Structure 1
Amino acid sequence: MAIDTTPSALTPLSPILEAAQECFVEQGYHGTSIRVIAARAGLSVPGLYHHYRSKQQMLQDLMKHAMTSLYRQSEDALAAAASDPLAQFNALVGCLVRFHAFERAPAFIAYSEIRSLDEEARREHIARRDAQQRLMDQVIEAGVAAGEFSTPHPTEASRAIVTMCTSVAQWYRMDGPLTPDELVDRYLVIARMTIGARG
């Protein structure tokens, strides 16, 4: 099948958020100071505080940006696919793999720094994550109902496939042995086996 090779179209970050993202990936949220972020952004600490009231606000904005972008791209992929469950499934798996291959830094932070969010922001992030998971749940449920997928455990299969796709951000390298196209192709084979796709 033809694979869309377009990179994930993440909206550009502000220079400050770009600096914060780099620092959080390199040193972790708790290992990064405001002073380090300001220096990376070419600002003084007071200059940084003029734009962001806290390091926590920067983390929240980064995580919301990543999850909102992934959800939008997932909806776009589903809208562009044919209406049958297998086409929808292929489109969503491809979108997830590409996003986590091309956008490793924001995806990594969105996964690894949940523990660093304050309580309200954590609830909001988990709600966005659950909404993203529900897209896959619905596609697989529709495929099972239509007799196109034979998995006896659609909920667990959905979670396993999303987890497999999102983990790409933790290990994939553009200079590695697999191109994004090849990675999507292989993940589609594994994912279709997981749901028992017919044909």
Structure 2
Amino acid sequence: MARGDDTVSEVDWRHYEPLDLTPILAGALDAFYEHGFHGTTVRDIARRVGLTVPALYYHHENKEGVFTALLELGTGDVAWRVRAAAAAGGERPQQQFVNVVEAIVLHTTQRLQLSALDLELRHLSARNRRRYAARRKEIEDLLLGIVQAGVRDGVFTATVPEETARAVLGMCQSIARWYRPDGPLSPADVARRYIDIALLTVGARPGAADRAASTAAQRQAR
């Protein structure tokens, strides 16, 4: 469930509870993950939940409407977790960066079926694609701000922060293409590996965390 801005600092963004989905959305999520958007029919979704097609249309306008409802759920979930993770990093860009990367990777692996919907965006109408792009841009801008702050504080050496932030975000989201819950890596394992890769991508300097903490302390003292 997505959280409001007033609660993000009070929750554990690493904790995942089972999704609270309607039967229609639960059945559709399984179908889209197994067969993709194009390979899933409204009849298939209705069959999975014991409804007639007209009954399903009573709840959702069409197949894209079901897909969009799931996409909204997924983007809302990752958005509040990323904001909470960044807030938990205090004024330290490197810790904020580590937290945000961890939050994205954990969401991608813990909410794998929702994350995999990102691979099917080409089937959305232009209007719905714009809505999704706006939410994704919020996350990208937050990550970019952290990278830029790290460069200013001398803890990162990225020469093109905009491209670097997009590269890190794309790298993390691509996990949905290969990750399997029954594989050898746990979500925490994947997060640790991708944090290391992401830190190399932004050019984190040795000892950068200590310098970032010192810089933050100096700012507060002014």
The TM-score normalised by the length of structure 2 is: 0.82
| Alignment check: 8 A CA contact 2:71 2:114 kept | yes
| Residue 38 of structure 2 corresponds to residue 47 of structure 1 | no
| Deviation of the 1:5 alpha carbon | 9.5
Alignment of 1:180-191 (within 5 A): 180-191=187-198
Structure 1 174/56 Cα, relative in aligned 2: closer, same or farther at 3 Å?
Answer: closer
Within the candidate set 204, 207, 211, 1:197 is matched to 204
Count of aligned pairs: 195
1:114-134 C-alpha deviation (Å, 9 max, x unpaired): 111112111111111111211
Partner of 2:159, secondary structure, is coil
1:78-125 C-alpha deviation (Å, 9 max, x unpaired): 12223210110010010011000111111111x112111112111111
Q: Name the CA distance, whole Å, in 2 between partners of 1:63 and 1:71.
A: 12
Q: Which runs of 5+ in 1 are unaligned?
A: none
Tell me which structure has the larger Cα radius of gyration: 2
1:125-145 C-alpha deviation (Å, 9 max, x unpaired): 111111121111111011111
| Alignment check: 8 A CA contact 1:77 1:95 kept | yes
- Corresponding residue for 1:79? 87
- Corresponding residue for 1:61? 69
| Residue 97 of structure 2 corresponds to residue 89 of structure 1 | yes
Within the candidate set 149, 157, 160, 1:153 is matched to 160
Instruction: Name the amino acid aligned to 1:161.
Output: V
Deviates more, 1:53-62 or 1:174-183: 174-183
Partner of 2:38, secondary structure, is coil
Q: Name the CA distance, whole Å, in 2 between partners of 1:5 and 1:83.
A: 18
Indicate the RMSD between aligned Cα atoms, in angstroms. Answer: 1.7
Q: Which runs of 5+ in 2 are unaligned?
A: 1-11, 208-222
| Residue 143 of structure 2 corresponds to residue 136 of structure 1 | yes
The TM-score normalised by the length of structure 1 is: 0.91
Instruction: Name the amino acid aligned to 1:97.
Output: V
